[in-house]
Amino acid sequence: MTRAPVAVTADCTGCGACLLTCPEHAFRPVARPGAPAGLDVLASHCTGCLECIEICPADAIVEVRGER
For the CB of residue 31, give the shortest distance to ligand SF4 in the complex, in Å: 15
Residue from 7, 43, 50, 64 in contact with ligand SF4 (CB under 6 A): 50
Q: Decide if 38 contacts 32 (C-beta within 8 A).
A: yes
Q: Binding to ligand SF4 by residue 13, rule CB under 6 A? A: yes
Q: Binding to ligand SF4 by residue 64, rule CB under 6 A? A: no
For the CB of residue 4, give the shortest distance to ligand SF4 in the complex, in Å: 6
Exposure string for 12-39, b = 16+ CB within 10 A, e = fewer = beeeeebeeebeeebbeeeeeeeeeebb
